[in-house]
Structure 1
Amino acid sequence: MSTSENDDGDDDCYYEMEPLPQIQNSKLLTTTEILDTCEPSTPDDLDENFYQIDDSPPLENTCHHYIDEPFTPSIETVAIPNFHYSVLSQDEYIELMMNYVQEVKDILKLSSPIVKLLLHYFKWNKQKLMENFYDNENHDDLFLQAKIVNPFSIPPSEIEQNEIICSICCSDEQKDMYSLDCKHVFCKDCWKHYLINQIVNEGLGQTISCPETNCDVLVDDETVSKFIADNDFVKHLYKRIIINSYVANNPRARWCPGKNCGCIINATSLTSAYNYAQFIICSNCDMSFCFQCAHPWHDPIKCVFVLKWNKKLVDDSETIIWMKANTKCCPKCRVTIEKNGGCNHMSCKHCNYEFCWLCSGMWSKHNECNRFNPNAVSEEMQAIYAASLSRYLHYNDRYHNHEHSLELETKQYERTKQQVEKNERQISTNDFRIIKDAFEVLLKCRQVLMYTYPFAFYLDRNNQAFVFEQNQADLERSCEELSELLEQDLSKETIFKEIKLKIFEKYRYCDKRKNVLLTHVKEGYLNNYWKYLEDI
């Protein structure tokens, strides 16, 4: 971790939040110990704030975990402090940023537009800005890197309106002129057209530079707002771009990925816990996701593998379709073969087996294949499971199956709630609580199961991987049993009474199996159980 990010007192640089008290860590249970217990593991055993984030290089002679390396504190280490965050509307977030700008402005005695550009350059890290500002008496390098003209060295000058011609329109007419502190002068009409083009066509906000060729000086937001004041569409678009830049350039802020949510998650506590991925629940839309990668919460897999898996899903989707349509497997050695000529007489270069492209029959015994053969269709469907493709399809299919089940069960949960509310006289408050808890456990288990398959896809085989697959199978089996129970019409009192105890016992068991699986995976991260396959 670089000193500028962590060891330099960065905790004090953001909204002046007090550090959280340290929490005594509890010992992680082994898989066997958990199996012997009746109660689910405690929150300390299954801290969701688990995956490490560190986007800066480590100090010399200091041992740090790699970026996104999941980490469970050992007995000797202090537990990770809780992560505090707030869910803000866009207007609330802008107000927060402007308060922050005012704070820095009062310290540095600079104008608000310059402070905004400096904070944008330093990714809203006040401590780094202060250090760079006060460490050098000559601020030229600082402002040059931030693409700002040094406000302490600008000579006063007046623009001679009659002597300057706009180099954009080259008009002979007398026009009102304007320039930034770089002294490149253009007429106000050209300034307006230039800025609107940069906003609407280029999508730029805080990175709009001077129109002069080879001039990198940035245009501040107050200047932009002045020129677009009479255009409501551009003003709205510019405001949106500026908000996006505030969030995208601030490592302590994230857009909520919930559909049509529009809220911003803001880290209000900058202790060392910031260096770990965090479990976030948006209070506006109830979306749960990972603070680091902004993807849905993905226990037990690391963020780096989630990103890799999602990229693979996109990259390989059309490839799989093409392979199914244009390739077949050699009936003997199962190597994938592409047909590159019109003749249906195929010869496998791997094993020299000769067969018919249409029916996969041995060519030496081949007479005809024009008649429909149900067995041949089955064999041809099986042929797509070739070598590496078959492994990927195995994990891909099961990942998408649980993803689809999660969507269906979420909709079913909403339907069940509506049905129970209509028949509230038949279902007591305690019974409704059981139904609610059961569905919540089911959805969490389904989401965990979904991400166990990309985790297993990248996992190399060893004894611990076998234990993981056993835990995965146990959770999957119990999850399906719970799902089957919850598919019944629970709004009817007679039906619910018959299966009430089964639902209660089953969802508690599912929650226990989920905890067993997650704890085992975290033990594996701590004890280096897991080895990963490369180049897949």
Structure 2
Amino acid sequence: MEDYGYGGSDDEYSDGVYDDDHDECQEDEDEQKYYCTRPPSCKFIRKESLLAAQKDDLKRTMDLLSLKEHNARTLLMHYRWDVDNVLTSFVEKGKEHLCAKAGISLTDSSSFSSSHVLTDTTCEICYNEFPTDEMTTMECGHIFCDEYNRRVKWCPSVPSCGNAIRAENDEYCEVECLCGLQFCFSCSSEAHSPCSCLMWELWLRKCKDDSETGDWIIANAKSCPKCSKPVEKNGGCNLVRCICGQPFCWLCGGATGLAHTWTSIANHACGQYKKDLEPKTTNSENDILRYSHYYYRYKSHAQSLKAEEDLIKRLRQKMDTLESGEFVAKDNSWITDGFTRLTLSRRILCYTYPFAFFMFGGVLFKNEMTQEETTIKQRLFEYHQQQLEKNIEGLSMFLEKPFEKYPAQEVSEIRMKIIALTSATNNLCEKLYDCIDNELLGPLQQTTHIIAPYRSGGVEKASEILENCSTETG
């Protein structure tokens, strides 16, 4: 079986998706724009630093609940050092119930006199200023915000690495621990942006429902539309050709011709879900067909992402060949930059399908969007989604080319195209997130579907909190 990208004509760039303004490249300047240079907004805590962090939590618990050290330690151990849970239980059920549940026998303790007034907005935990209506005043007189303790999470790695992560600014973010695990800080699941945490939870639950998926949803092979032989994809591109010679689209399985450009297959488009093309079936069968459409594309891009993991090894070999050949460039980072952009964007594209399944499914937002509004928003989203998909497939195709064997002039041309596609793909990711934030979720009266913001450089790697972490503020 052979793999093809969405295109074979290298000359048709005038109607490509990326902007030709990038052809001048401004190489050094542009390549620096691909990646975020902001300081880290999340930090990991080594085992050695946890002692200082635990002492900080212990001191806060003692001060806020007027407890002696041994009682505060027992309380925190019972609640697994989740200060947020401790404070929530205290506010909802009171100090006696809180301590009794942890097996703590309290003696008479002195209470603090409160001198706080309504205009006092200084949090006595993190020492930041907050509006009065965002503060909680405890019976002991202390005032605290509900924000701080939501910003520390244990790394969910299995087996546990023992590190904790603290988000400095926003709990709705995706982080990478020192151990290498990337996860959603809000729900501790795998990084799933642009899906909201609720969407991702519902998607995982739905994927486990074997009664809906059925044996006919095949994730690893596709039947050739001509000879019906199973075809397995061994590369990242989604235009494949069977051993019998029939080319077809890997995403939908439809037969295609050989005429194509790098952005599309001639007379073929399958990214949109077309309800009108459904056969006359029951509502239950229609639900399965719709789920199959999104699930298969989600799974296909996940497999492409997996297949492209080996690409970096081949690219390094190409770089070595180029450096020892006639094409001598001051910097071959355009190759690794292109690969990084490919994998980051492919991951995002993968999660756009679960997002679309719930966004336009008529269930989560049935009371907030009319059918007409849903259709308009879906078309807008699918436009951005398909533009991104075309660029990703084009970038994958050019990176797969054996350009290390090309003459210097052709290598230079490939280089310009990969740089332009890398930049264009980054811009399309930004536009997709902007569409989701401002056009889709933004106008809705909801607070449960907040997504992690787009980061050009990918999931943020946490920096280390040193021993003075008890003095740091968010």
User: Normalized against structure 1, the TM-score is what?
Assistant: 0.47
Q: Which residue pairs with 2:100 in the alignment?
A: 144
Q: Which residue pairs with 1:446 in the alignment?
A: 346
Q: Deviations over 1:85-119 (max 9, x none)?
A: 21123443355224532565588461336434247
Q: Which of 117, 121, 141 is the matching residue for 2:75? A: 117
Q: Deviations over 1:100-142 (max 9, x none)?
A: 325655884613364342475483149939987xx99xx6455
Q: Which residue pairs with 1:526 in the alignment?
A: 442
Distance 1:283 1:437, change over 3 A: farther
Structure 2 residue 3 is the aligned partner of structure 1 residue 87 = no
Q: Which residue pairs with 1:511 in the alignment?
A: 426
Stretches of structure 2 lacking an aligned partner (at least 5 in a row): 1-16, 23-29, 110-148, 219-278, 362-373, 447-474
Q: What SS is found at the alignment partner of 2:307?
A: helix
- What is the CA–CA distance in structure 1 between the aligned matches of 2:420 and 2:319, rounded to whole Å? 21
Structure 2 residue 386 is the aligned partner of structure 1 residue 473 = yes
Q: CA deviation at 1:252?
A: 3.5
Q: Deviations over 1:54-76 (max 9, x none)?
A: xxxxxxxxxxxxxxxxxxxxxxx
- What is the CA–CA distance in structure 2 between the aligned matches of 1:261 and 1:428, rounded to whole Å? 46
- What is the CA–CA distance in structure 1 between the aligned matches of 2:412 and 2:299, rounded to whole Å? 34
Q: Deviations over 1:486-515 (max 9, x none)?
A: 112455574743411111112222222222
Q: Deviations over 1:190-216 (max 9, x none)?
A: xxxxxxxxxxxxxxxxxxxxxxxxxxx
Q: How does 1:343-354 map to 2 (within 5 A)?
A: none
Maintained 8 Å contact 1:300/1:518: yes
- What is the CA–CA distance in structure 1 between the aligned matches of 2:53 and 2:300, rounded to whole Å? 42
Q: Which residue pairs with 1:298 in the alignment?
A: 192
Distance 1:425 1:90, change over 3 A: farther
- What is the CA–CA distance in structure 1 between the aligned matches of 2:108 and 2:349, rounded to whole Å? 59
Q: How does 1:359-374 map to 2 (within 5 A)?
A: none
Q: How does 1:226-375 map to 2 (within 5 A)?
A: 251-256=150-155, 262=161, 264-267=163-166, 269=168, 273-274=170-171, 277-285=172-180, 287-316=181-210, 320-321=214-215
- What is the CA–CA distance in structure 2 between the aligned matches of 1:396 and 1:289, rounded to whole Å? 21
Percent of aligned pairs with the same amino acid:
25
- What is the CA–CA distance in structure 1 between the aligned matches of 2:391 and 2:54, rounded to whole Å? 48
- What is the CA–CA distance in structure 2 between the aligned matches of 1:279 and 1:447, rounded to whole Å? 13
Moved more, 487-496 or 520-529: 487-496
- What is the CA–CA distance in structure 2 between the aligned matches of 1:288 and 1:415, rounded to whole Å? 25
- What is the CA–CA distance in structure 1 between the aligned matches of 2:103 and 2:397, rounded to whole Å? 62
Maintained 8 Å contact 1:87/1:265: yes
Q: Deviations over 1:428-464 (max 9, x none)?
A: 6754211121111111211111111111212144112
- What is the CA–CA distance in structure 2 between the aligned matches of 1:423 and 1:477, rounded to whole Å? 28
Moved more, 467-476 or 411-420: 411-420
Q: What SS is found at the alignment partner of 2:332?
A: helix
- What is the CA–CA distance in structure 1 between the aligned matches of 2:294 and 2:195, rounded to whole Å? 14
Distance 1:82 1:421, change over 3 A: closer
Given residue 398 of structure 2, which amino acid in structure 1 is its aligned partner?
Answer: L
Tell me: higher relative CO, structure 1 or 2? Use CA pairs within 8 A at least 6 residues apart. Answer: 2
Q: Deviations over 1:360-382 (max 9, x none)?
A: xxxxxxxxxxxxxxxxxxxxxx9
Q: CA deviation at 1:314?
A: 1.4
- What is the CA–CA distance in structure 2 between the aligned matches of 1:109 and 1:386, rounded to whole Å? 60
- What is the CA–CA distance in structure 2 between the aligned matches of 1:265 and 1:490, rounded to whole Å? 44
Q: Which residue pairs with 1:406 in the alignment?
A: 305
- What is the CA–CA distance in structure 2 between the aligned matches of 1:35 and 1:526, rounded to whole Å? 27
Q: How does 1:186-205 map to 2 (within 5 A)?
A: none
Given residue 406 of structure 1, which amino acid in structure 2 is its aligned partner?
Answer: L
| C-alpha RMSD over aligned residues | 4.6
Moved more, 252-261 or 444-453: 252-261
Maintained 8 Å contact 2:298/2:351: yes
Q: What SS is found at the alignment partner of 1:403?
A: helix
Q: CA deviation at 1:476?
A: 0.9
- What is the CA–CA distance in structure 2 between the aligned matches of 1:105 and 1:399, rounded to whole Å? 49
User: Normalized against structure 2, the TM-score is what?
Assistant: 0.52
- What is the CA–CA distance in structure 2 between the aligned matches of 1:288 and 1:511, rounded to whole Å? 20
Given residue 147 of structure 1, which amino acid in structure 2 is its aligned partner?
Answer: G
Q: CA deviation at 1:306?
A: 0.7
Distance 1:477 1:428, change over 3 A: same
Q: Deviations over 1:115-174 (max 9, x none)?
A: 342475483149939987xx99xx645522443222559xxxxxxxxxxxxxxxxxxxxx
Q: CA deviation at 1:291?
A: 0.7
- What is the CA–CA distance in structure 2 between the aligned matches of 1:90 and 1:147, rounded to whole Å? 28
Distance 1:123 1:409, change over 3 A: same
Q: CA deviation at 1:400?
A: 0.3
Q: What SS is found at the alignment partner of 1:398?
A: helix
Q: How does 1:13-24 map to 2 (within 5 A)?
A: none
